[in-house]
Copies of this chain bind each other. A is one copy, B any other.
Amino acid sequence: MAVQTTASSAAASTVTAVTASSASPSVDLGPAAALSCRECGHRVPLGPVFACEECFGPLEVAYDFSGYDAEELRRRIEAGPANIWRYAPLLPVPADVAGKPNLNPGWTQLVKADNLARELGVTGGLYVKDDSGNPTHSFKDRVVAQALEAARAFGFTTLSCSSTGNLAGAVGAAAARAGLRSCVFIPHDLEQGKVVMAAVYGGDLVGIEGTYDDVNRFCSELIGDPAGEGWGFVNVNLRPYYAEGSKTLAYEICEQLGWRLPDQIVVPIASGSQLTKIDKGLRELIALGLVEDRPYKIFGAQAEGCSPVSAAFKAGHDVVRPQKPDTIAKSLAIGNPADGPYVLDIARRTGGAVEDVTDAQIVDAIRLLARTEGIFAETAGGVTVGVTRKLIENGVLDPTLTTVVLNTGDGLKTLDAVAGTGPTAVIRPTLDSFREAGLA
Q: Once the chains are docked, how many angstroms separate the CA of A138 from the CA of B31?
A: 37
A201 CB to closest chain B CB (Å) equals 5
A189 CB to closest chain B CB (Å) equals 10
Q: Contact between B374 and A429 (Cβ–Cβ < 8 Å)? A: no
Q: Is A120 an interface residue (CB 8 A)?
A: no
Q: Number of copies of this chain in the oligomer?
A: 2
List A157-190 residues whose CB lies under 8 Å from chain B: 169, 172-177, 179, 183, 186, 188
List A190-231 residues whose CB lies under 8 Å from chain B: 192-193, 195-197, 199-202, 204-210, 214-215, 217-218, 221-222, 225, 227-228
Q: Is A437 an interface residue (CB 8 A)?
A: yes
Q: Is A103 an interface residue (CB 8 A)?
A: yes
Known contacts A173-B374, A410-B412, A429-B215; A367 and B421 CB within 8 A of each other? no
Residues of B within 8 A of A370 (CB): 173, 176, 200-202
Q: Once the chains are docked, how many angstroms separate the CA of A191 from the CA of B421?
A: 12
Residues of B within 8 A of A217 (CB): 429
Known contacts A114-B101, A437-B206; A176 and B372 CB within 8 A of each other? yes
Q: Is A1 an interface residue (CB 8 A)?
A: no
Q: Contact between B188 and A426 (Cβ–Cβ < 8 Å)? A: yes
CB-defined interface of A410-424 with B at 8 Å, one 1/0 digit per residue? 111101001101111
Q: Is A315 an interface residue (CB 8 A)?
A: no
Q: Contact between B371 and A197 (Cβ–Cβ < 8 Å)? A: no
Which 10 pairs across A and B sit closest by C-beta, in order of nearness?
Answer: A202-B371, A173-B374, A207-B426, A176-B374, A177-B374, A227-B440, A218-B429, A207-B423, A199-B421, A412-B412
